[in-house]
Structure 1
């Protein structure tokens, strides 16, 4: 039951995310559906290929396809005034999708008896793979590669599940909420992972010139 609930939550969240971004880029209705479907199912398809699940398993999720299409249709028909507020809650929807799919992907690999490394990879790819494809098709820098912490929370989900710390449905739901909260906090307070650039910023060049 937990598996199905997380699958549905993640599918709806990412389908809406893809549809909204498609509308922001002024795609037609076909583009909206394509980008939404890719966002909702792209990460799971990549995960299946890497952990040895037949790609045909993707087409056995008829109900999820219908749910995704329904969610995208509702969003497409939303009044424009409501969609203008997307940026205020869009990141939250993405956080829900990330958490639900990261946990679902980790569970998938864990139940197949794969090692901890495969569980983590499955969590990251399922949680962020669809979003990466979505951003590339929309001509945007993938969210997972930005300065804000994103994929690291999927890694955390993979570690918790891979080491067997979340066995019951209650623990999985608690983990789901924790990952969502951490993702929301990371973009709200702009938490960043360590990074460095090979090129000096324009501000540094200006200071040197002075």
Structure 2
């Protein structure tokens, strides 16, 4: 049951995130659907390619495709005056999708007995891959490479699952809350990983 709930939470959150950004970029309804579906399912697609899960599994999620369709339609028909308020929530929905899919990807990798590093990679790619494809399709610099700490929270979630620290539904949802909370805190306080500045020194944040 935890697996299905995480799947639905991640799909809803990322479909909303993709649709909102498509509308912000003035895409037509086809573009909104493409970006919404890409964000919702792109991370899982990349994960399957990397750790050898059959790609066909992605297309057998009839319920999730229907859920994404409904939520994208709802976002598209929201009045413009409401949309301006919703756009402030893009980061929040993205954080929920990041956490839910990171946990799901890590659990999937653990279920097929992959090594710890593969669990961490699966968590990071599943959590951040959809958003990365969304940003590329929207002509933006991918959040995973420059934004206030982003993929690190997914990787830490994967590490905790790979080490066997998350063993029951309660701890799973606690981890989800942790990832969402710290992603939002990193945006609010502008936490950043070290980066090169002027080509000769490291920035701190």
Q: Shared topology, TM-score over 0.5?
A: yes
List runs of 5+ in structure 2 lacking aligned partners. Answer: 201-205
Provide the C-alpha distance between the structure 1 equivalents of 2:50 and 2:125, rounded to a whole number of angstroms: 10
Q: Does 1:170 align with 2:170?
A: yes
Once the two structures are superposed, what CA deviation does each residue of 1:35-66 show, in whole Å capped at 9, x if it has no partner?
A: 10010000100101111111011111010000
Does structure 2 conserve the Cα–Cα contact (< 8 Å) formed by 1:19 and 1:76? Answer: yes
TM-score, with normalisation over the residues of structure 2? 0.95
Tell me the distance in 2 between the aligned counterparts of 1:79 and 1:185.
30
Verify the 8 A CA contact 1:102 1:154 in the aligned structure 2: yes
Residue 65 of structure 2 is aligned to residue 34 of structure 1: no
Q: Give a deviation string over 1:61-88, Cα, whole Å, max 9, x none.
A: 0100000010000000111111101342
Q: Secondary structure at the match of 2:197?
A: coil
Q: List runs of 5+ in structure 1 lacking aligned partners.
A: 201-210
Aligned to 2:186: 186
State how many pairs are aligned: 200
Query: How big is the shift at 1:147?
Result: 4.0
Q: Secondary structure at the match of 2:196?
A: coil
Over the aligned positions, Cα root-mean-square deviation in angstroms equals 1.0
Question: 1:198 Cα shift?
Answer: 4.5
8 Å Cα contact 1:19-1:75 kept in structure 2: yes
Identify the residue that residue 203 of structure 2 maps to in structure 1: none
Equivalent position of 1:205 in the other structure: none
Partner residue in 2 for 1:161: 161
User: 2:93: which partner in 1?
Assistant: 93
Q: Which residue of 2 aligns with 1:208?
A: none
TM-score by length of 1: 0.93
Contact 1:10–1:101, Cα closer than 8 Å, also in 2? yes
CA distance in 2, matches of 1:62, 1:120: 28
Instruction: State whether residues 49 and 55 of structure 1, in contact with CA within 8 Å, keep that contact through their aligned partners in structure 2.
Output: yes
Q: Distance in 1 between matches of 2:61 and 2:168?
A: 24
Counterparts in 2 of 1:88-167, with a 5 A limit? Answer: 88-167=88-167
**1:156 aligned counterpart, secondary structure:** helix
Please give the residue correspondences for 1:16-27 in structure 2 after superposition, counting only pairs within 5 Å: 16-27=16-27
Once the two structures are TM-superposed, the CA of residue 195 in structure 1 deviates from its matched residue by 1.2
Contact 1:48 1:54 in 2 (8 A): yes
The 1:74–1:147 alpha-carbon spacing in structure 2 relative to 1, beyond 3 Å, is: closer
Aligned-partner Cα distance in 1 for 2:57–2:41: 11
* SS of residue paired to 1:192: coil
1:10, distance to aligned residue in structure 2 (A): 0.3
Larger CA Rg, structure 1 vs 2: 1
